[in-house]
Amino acid sequence: MHLRKNDSIQRTLALLVTASLLYIPANLYPVMYTDALGSNEASTIMGGVVLLINLGSAPVALVIFVFSVMVPSAKLMALFYLVWTVERHSALDPRQRSRLFRIVEFIGKWSMVDIFVVTILVALVQLGGLLVILPGVAAISFAGVVVITIIAAESFDSRLIWDNMEDKDSVN
Amino acid sequence: MGNEIACQSCDLLVSVAATKHGESASCPRCGCFLTKRHDDALRRVLAFASIGLMFLVFASSYPFLSLSSSGVESAITLIQAPFALWSKGMPEVAVLVTAFIIVIPATVLMMMLTLCILINRGRYHSSLLPLAKGIFMGQKWSMVEVFLIAVIVAMVKIAAMATVTIGISFWAYAAFAICFTLATSNLDRYQCWQKIELLAIK
């Protein structure tokens, strides 16, 4: 038996708004800079995906695209949608909404892939003046988005989806 | 004591008394996974957790990846990776990464070890409850498998610019990830609470 989470909707909503705001710089600013023989090149998250396609590794590009572009935005939208339906006491198929929430919970941490890639590249690629990779500001905001959305999903109480079903079932 | 569980996801009371060994139960209303009875669960958890910790020690003491291009070479260990981020002006991200890939998973495994040993002694101990809570909390924040995928992506990204070599630590970390997954999947939340409850009322 678990206690209900306090102020679930308010907390989730506040965290979601924070994450959405952080999501803007996370996509606009570069996540890393590549310094190759004096020429400096900045790349955003989307830029990284394009680079991978140009390198001919479409499957890896797809992995990054799914986890760093699709998952975070889909997650934000899904959580906003869930909060909205709960607030409206919607009776829309609760089973489907429960499943949606479980997917959101499960997939959350996979968005950290890009941050880990930057971590590895920054540490590994230190070849004097030849080739150096440096982290960019978007790394902080993107990591923030991932962590905050995980906490948002954590503070959302999925039992709220079922509460008004029970109200409707038991009209006694 | 009753065999009813309140579903974590929708609060429906479900009787799981009919669940036999090796079977798993999910909520009839929302479809959420409820419990699975594993044979020898605690012994398996104990085994995987201790082997996993050994692999982690191994993984942190040898080169993880190395890189060479036109005669210049660089190698990193597992712990050096987040440290580089720290020295490049991103201590926040460095702390998060270290926590997600090393500190939290290692703590979870250590707590699992302690929990198994305490339950095996057959006496109730006041630290059982916080341990179990900590384990289930920490599992959500462990990202060992995510990190493994990230290593592969990183290798593809630099392969065009320089030659990457996988060090022995990488394999040790992969083994650690497998042990971690096996240990967590064998420790069932409901079965674990039930064992603690049994000890508490004895």
What CATH number did the domain enclosing B163 receive?
1.20.140
Task: State the virtual CA torsion across A146, A63, A84, B26 in degrees, nearest 10.
Answer: -100
**Strand pairing partners for B163?**
B68
The domain of B131 spans 40-201
Beta-carbon separation of A122 and B10 below 8 A: no
pTM, 2 dp: 0.88
pLDDT surpassing 80 at residue A152? yes
Contacts of B70 in chain A (CB under 8 A): 130
Report whether A40 contacts A48 (CB < 8 A).
no
Token reading at B22: 């090796």
The beta-carbon neighbor of A94 closest among B30, B85, B94 is B30
Nearest chain A Cα distance for residue B25, angstroms: 16
Token reading at A28: 């606009």
Q: Which of A7-11, B107-111, B146-150, B181-185 has the lowest mean pLDDT?
A: A7-11
Domain boundaries, chain A: 8-162
Q: Is A71 on the interface with B (CB under 8 A)?
A: no
Q: Is A161 on the interface with B (CB under 8 A)?
A: yes
Beta-carbon separation of A117 and B154 below 8 A: yes
B92-105 pLDDT, tens per residue?
Answer: 999 999 999 999 99
Residue corresponding to tokens 């990464």? B97
In chain B, the number of structural domains is 2
Report whether A160 contacts A171 (CB < 8 A).
no
Please give the C-alpha separations between residue B83 and each of A32, B61, B76, B93, B180, in angstroms, as whole numbers. 16, 15, 10, 10, 24
Residues B33, B90 within the same domain: no
Chain A: residue whose CA lies nearest to B154: A117
Residue corresponding to tokens 């590009």? A61
Residues B14, B86 within the same domain: no
pLDDT surpassing 70 at residue A168? no
Residues B65, B109 within the same domain: yes
Q: Does A86 or B37 have the greater pLDDT score?
A: A86
Which of B25-34, B98-107, B162-171 has the highest mean predicted lDDT (pLDDT)? B98-107
Label residue B111 by pLDDT band (50, 70, 90): very high
The beta-carbon neighbor of A158 closest among B6, B9, B149 is B9
Report whether A64 contacts A72 (CB < 8 A).
no
Report whether A134 contacts A41 (CB < 8 A).
no
Beta-carbon separation of A113 and B149 below 8 A: yes
Nearest chain A Cα distance for residue B85, angstroms: 6
A49-59 pLDDT, tens per residue?
Answer: 888 888 888 88
Residues B191, B173 within the same domain: yes
Q: How distant is the alpha carbon of residue B201 from its chain centre?
A: 30
Label residue A166 by pLDDT band (50, 70, 90): low
pLDDT surpassing 80 at residue A16? yes
Q: Is B96 on the interface with A (CB under 8 A)?
A: yes
Q: Is B30 on the interface with A (CB under 8 A)?
A: yes
A92-151 pLDDT, tens per residue?
Answer: 788 888 889 999 988 988 999 999 999 999 998 887 667 888 899 999 999 999 999 999
pLDDT surpassing 90 at residue B89? no
Q: Is B88 on the interface with A (CB under 8 A)?
A: yes
Chain B: residue whose CA lies nearest to A33: B88
Q: Is B97 on the interface with A (CB under 8 A)?
A: yes
Report whether A164 contacts A13 (CB < 8 A).
no
Query: Would you give the DSSP letter of residue A69?
Result: I
Give the start-end residues of each E strand in B33-134: 33-36, 63-69, 72-77
